[in-house]
């Protein structure tokens, strides 16, 4: 043993007593508990309320929360949902009295040995030991997924299987030799419900009104109290009390099949005690059914990343590159290739597969009214696009979308791959609440998207269409339907790279033909691919914020530096407007700042501590190497009094504090700004 971490706050609790204590607390505050009463069916009523059928009669409910543990799939099935959950067998063993343990004056702390992959604690005068087997050895109870949980299965246990955990028992005996002399007096083997990524699913579920879930708890005892409070606060306040986006049940969708869930649960269980890396990729269950039209063509040419079921190129290989996924806390094999792709976009032109974007069509008589109420920005004119934010009633950022009015009253809304159903649920809820007459179509799986960006983007696309793509005719943030090489696309002049670029929305079955036509047309200009790592470096240099990093439901748009997109003066009373006015009046306590850092072979990723005068005063939200400034770059939240340009700070990376300084953003001007300055005769800084 080289080192250990001691947490004096660690402990253990009897789950039965905890459950009873929580129930007593709930009763004290007016909850009515009937136990045991089985829910046998669920019926949704046209007003959004529920009829919950039980042997004791029907209970009417405004909303229901599925908290049925390993029965949660069965409850979901009652309303046509297939929750991606699977029970896994987990075992722990309890030993007889061990004299050395009995002689202890204070109770042993809970010991976790990551290498041996087990936890161990004192149980009376003996020890209790629970291992996590490797993904090959662990056991899934998949028959419960295919055939359902056997009726009546309650507190029963599975047949113990000590052979399966023998290597962990041996590892524990090495670490804690007194175990060698102890007898195993009890083995507990029970079902734990796993979601694919082992995190629970907590919150309202998209597609079913007033149906909430708190399911998929691999560690449900430790999470129970916190999750109960989080859920009840959300229900009472109408918005999440704080950001727990990782637990959003809507991160899963139709693509999370039983096969996928089983493969992922196996992997997640086996990885319980492994070291996680930045930019981590896990490969079980991939690819899913949800692949882009370019997947087969690109899969061997790049390192793919997994985004809500999709495979999206992170970076592309060239001869001489060390290929594949090489995890590290430091820069690794992707670093130079990403620099090459960065240069490609800045100096020539690059193509990126953006098909994982969430895409919705919204139309109908009330579409303008709806979007004016939902978004803090103004509704774009016909043929125009803008970046818009949906705020919570308390004025926090719920989502960021690109909104285009394609024809009068017909809109296309685009969001990131990770927020598709998260955003759709919020929009649908508002439609119902306000009885808006609109139709919403989720086009995510049918539509492909290609991004083309760089100085030659116009020149190349112009070869494929008779439409005039010149700056005068197709301005920045304009959108229109056109044909490229006879393929119908909706083109938006926008690019998250901040360079001259278009996003081309098209039928997924046309992706390959469109991609080939663009690559062919760009031969002379030296067109090439780029991936999301280069995109991240490009957007950070331009000072573009990312949803989920710089903004989420813990941040308001003013502290996030998004004032430009928030129109407090627009007539519509958009959600969050009043709260935001108050926030503005009171003044901001913290601000998002733009930092350059002096580092060595490591870059910030987000969530690192920011230090000043020996104290942690904030945290980074995202970061990257800036290939133009040749130094690391990060966004961070710091107190307002420490947020001025020039302020010196430190950022902690891998246990070391590196010097950082707040600089004026952006580091590199966007192409539209450069053009505007050029037209005015000013020299742009690039
Ligand atoms: C061997 C083992 C060791 C574990 N160790 C730990 C640990 O150290 N720390 C930790 O945090 N977690 C641990 N867990 C996991 C923990 O037990 C679970 O995560 C937790 O119990 C899940 O809580 P839950 O409320 O989601 O589901 P459950 O505890 O399963 O509760 C679900 C409830 O829903 C009820 N229900 C189901 N269907 C219906 C229906 N149709 N109508 C009405 N009621 C219904 C059930 O009767 C049950 O009361 C362990 C689990 C096992 C098996």
Residue range 501-557, pLDDT digits in tens: 999 999 999 999 999 999 999 999 999 999 999 999 999 999 999 999 999 999 999
- Rounded to the nearest whole angstrom, what is the distance from the C-alpha of residue 217 to the centroid of ligand 1? 8
**Residue 83 Cα distances to 41, 65, 202, 305, 338, angstroms:** 16, 14, 12, 24, 38
- The three-state secondary structure class of 267 is helix
Question: What pLDDT does 685 receive?
Answer: 53
Question: What pLDDT does 684 receive?
Answer: 61
- The three-state secondary structure class of 368 is helix
According to CATH, the superfamily of the domain at 358-442 is Aminomethyltransferase beta-barrel domains (3.30.70.1400)
- Domain 589-686 in the same topology as domain 358-442: no
* Residue nearest atom 20 of ligand 1, based on CA coordinates: 220
- The three-state secondary structure class of 439 is strand
> Is residue 129 in contact with ligand 1, taking CB distance under 6 Å?
no
Q: Tens of pLDDT along 258-268?
A: 999 999 999 99
Give yes or no for a contact between 293 and 303, defined as CB atoms under 8 angstroms apart: no
- Averaged over 442-469, what is the pLDDT? 98
> Is residue 216 in contact with ligand 1, taking CB distance under 6 Å?
no
CB burial of 1-27 (b: ≥16 within 10 Å; e: otherwise) equals eeeeeeeeeeeeeeeeeeeeeeeeeee
**What is the crossing angle of helices 15-28 and 220-237, to 10°?**
20
Ligand 1 binding pocket mutation candidate from 15, 69, 77 (most atoms within 8 A of CB): 69
Residue 80 has pLDDT above 70, yes or no: yes
Q: Please state the φ and ψ torsions of residue 658, each to the nearest 5 degrees.
A: -110, 145
Rounded Cα distance, 398 and 424, in Å = 12
- The three-state secondary structure class of 671 is helix
Res. 682 pLDDT band, cuts 50 70 90: confident
Ligand 1 atom with the shortest distance to the CA of 119: 8
- Averaged over 317-341, what is the pLDDT? 97
Pick the range with the lowest mean pLDDT from 97-106, 149-158, 255-264, 288-297.
Answer: 149-158
**Residue 301 Cα distances to 88, 196, 246, 356, angstroms:** 36, 27, 30, 18
- Averaged over 84-102, what is the pLDDT? 96
Question: What pLDDT does 156 receive?
Answer: 82
Question: What pLDDT does 27 receive?
Answer: 96
Ligand 1 atom with the shortest distance to the CA of 223: 11
Place of tokens 């989720």: 442
Question: What pLDDT does 415 receive?
Answer: 98
**Residue 380 Cα distances to 360, 411, 580, angstroms:** 16, 9, 22
Which sign does the torsion angle of CA 432, 433, 438, 441 carry? Answer: negative
- Rounded to the nearest whole angstrom, what is the distance from the C-alpha of residue 434 to the centroid of ligand 1? 38
> Is residue 649 in contact with ligand 1, taking CB distance under 6 Å?
no
Element (H, E) at 449: strand 447-453
Q: Please state the φ and ψ torsions of residue 54, each to the nearest 5 degrees.
A: -140, 165
The domain spans of the chain are 358-442, 589-686
* Residue nearest atom 10 of ligand 1, based on CA coordinates: 219
Average model confidence (pLDDT) across the chain: 96
List, as one string, the DSSP characters of 479-538: EEEEEETTEEEEEE---TTSSSEEEEEEEGGGHHHHHHHHHHHTTTTT-EE--HHHHHHH
Rounded Cα distance, 200 and 220, in Å = 9
Question: What pLDDT does 1 receive?
Answer: 85
Q: What CATH number has the domain spanning 589-686?
A: 2.40.30.110
Q: Tens of pLDDT along 133-168?
A: 999 999 999 999 989 999 888 778 899 999 999 999
Residue 686 has pLDDT above 60, yes or no: no
- Rounded to the nearest whole angstrom, what is the distance from the C-alpha of residue 455 to the centroid of ligand 1? 57
* Residue nearest atom 33 of ligand 1, based on CA coordinates: 68
What is the rounded end-to-end Cα distance, in angstroms, of the chain?
52
Strands of the sheet containing 126-131, edge to edge, are: 111-113, 118-123, 126-131, 86-95, 184-194
Ligand 1 atom with the shortest distance to the CA of 90: 1
């Amino acid at each position: 043993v080289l080192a250990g971490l001691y947490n004096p706050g660690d402990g253990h609790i009897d789950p039965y007593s905890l459950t009873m204590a929580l129930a007593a607390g709930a009763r004290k505050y007016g909850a009515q508990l009937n136990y045991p009463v089985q829910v046998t069916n669920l019926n949704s009523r046209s007003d959004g309320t529920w009829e919950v059928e039980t042997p004791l009669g029907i209970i009417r409910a405004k909303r229901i929360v599925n908290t049925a543990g390993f029965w949660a799939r069965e409850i979901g099935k009652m309303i046509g949902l297939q929750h991606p959950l699977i029970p896994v067998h987990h075992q722990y063993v309890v030993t007889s009295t061990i004299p050395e343990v009995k002689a202890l004056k204070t109770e042993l702390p809970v010991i976790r040995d990551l290498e041996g992959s087990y936890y161990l604690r004192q149980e009376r005068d003996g020890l209790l030991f629970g291992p996590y087997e490797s993904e090959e050895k662990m056991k899934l109870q998949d028959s419960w997924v295919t055939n359902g949980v056997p009726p009546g299965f309650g507190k029963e246990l599975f047949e113990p299987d000590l052979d399966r955990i023998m290597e962990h028992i041996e590892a524990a005996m090495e670490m804690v030799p007194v175990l060698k002399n102890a007898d195993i007096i009890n083995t507990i083997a029970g079902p734990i419900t796993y979601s694919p990524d082992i995190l629970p699913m907590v919150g309202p579920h998209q597609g079913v009104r007033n149906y909430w879930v708190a399911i998929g708890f691999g560690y449900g005892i430790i999470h129970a109290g916190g999750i109960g409070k989080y859920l009840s606060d959300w229900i009472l306040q109408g918005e999440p009390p704080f950001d727990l986006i990782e637990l959003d049940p809507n991160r899963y969708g139709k693509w999370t099949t039983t096969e996928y869930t089983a493969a992922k649960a196996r992997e997640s269980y086996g990885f319980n005690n492994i070291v996680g890396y930045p930019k981590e990729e896990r490969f079980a269950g991939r690819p899913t059914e949800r692949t882009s039209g370019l997947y087969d063509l690109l899969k061997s040419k790049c390192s793919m990343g997994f985004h809500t079921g999709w495979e999206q190129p992170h970076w592309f290989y060239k001869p001489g590159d060390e290929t594949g996924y090489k995890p590290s806390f430091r820069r690794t094999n992707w670093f130079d290739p990403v620099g090459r792709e960065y240069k490609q976009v800045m100096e020539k032109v690059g193509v990126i597969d953006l098909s994982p974007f969430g895409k919705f069509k919204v139309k109908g008589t009330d579409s303008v009214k709806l979007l004016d109420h939902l978004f803090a920005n103004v509704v774009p004119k016909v043929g125009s696009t803008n970046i818009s934010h949906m705020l919570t009633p308390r004025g926090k950022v719920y989502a960021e979308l690109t909104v285009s009015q394609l024809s009068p009253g017909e809109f296309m809304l685009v969001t990131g791959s990770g927020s598709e159903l998260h955003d759709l649920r919020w929009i649908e809820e508002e439609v119902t609440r306000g009885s808006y007459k609109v139709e919403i179509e989720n086009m995510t799986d049918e539509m492909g998207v290609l991004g083309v960006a760089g100085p030659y983007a116009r020149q190349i696309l112009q070869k494929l269409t008779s439409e005039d793509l010149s700056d005068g005719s197709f301005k920045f943030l304009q959108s229109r339907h056109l044909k490229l090489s006879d393929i119908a696309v909706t083109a938006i002049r926008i690019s998250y790279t901040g360079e001259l670029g278009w996003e081309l929305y098209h039928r997924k079955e046309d992706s390959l033909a469109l991609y080939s036509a663009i690559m062919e047309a760009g031969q002379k200009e030296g067109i090439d691919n780029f991936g999301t790592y280069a995109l991240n470096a490009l957007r950070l240099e331009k000072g573009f914020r990312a949803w989920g990093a710089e903004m989420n439901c813990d941040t308001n748009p003013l502290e996030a530096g998004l004032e430009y997109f928030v129109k407090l003066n627009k007539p519509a009373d958009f959600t969050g407007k009043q709260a935001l006015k108050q926030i503005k009046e009171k003044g901001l306590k913290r601000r998002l700042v733009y930092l350059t850092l002096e580092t060595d072979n490591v870059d910030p990723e987000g969530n690192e501590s920011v230090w000043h005068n020996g104290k942690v005063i904030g945290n980074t939200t995202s970061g990257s190497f800036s290939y133009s400034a040749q130094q690391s770059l990060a966004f961070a939240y710091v107190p307002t009094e420490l947020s001025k340009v020039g302020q010196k700070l430190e950022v902690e990376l891998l246990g070391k504090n590196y010097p950082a300084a707040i600089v004026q953003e952006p580091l590199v001007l966007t192409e539209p700004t450069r053009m505007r300055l050029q037209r005015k005769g000013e020299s742009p800084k690039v």
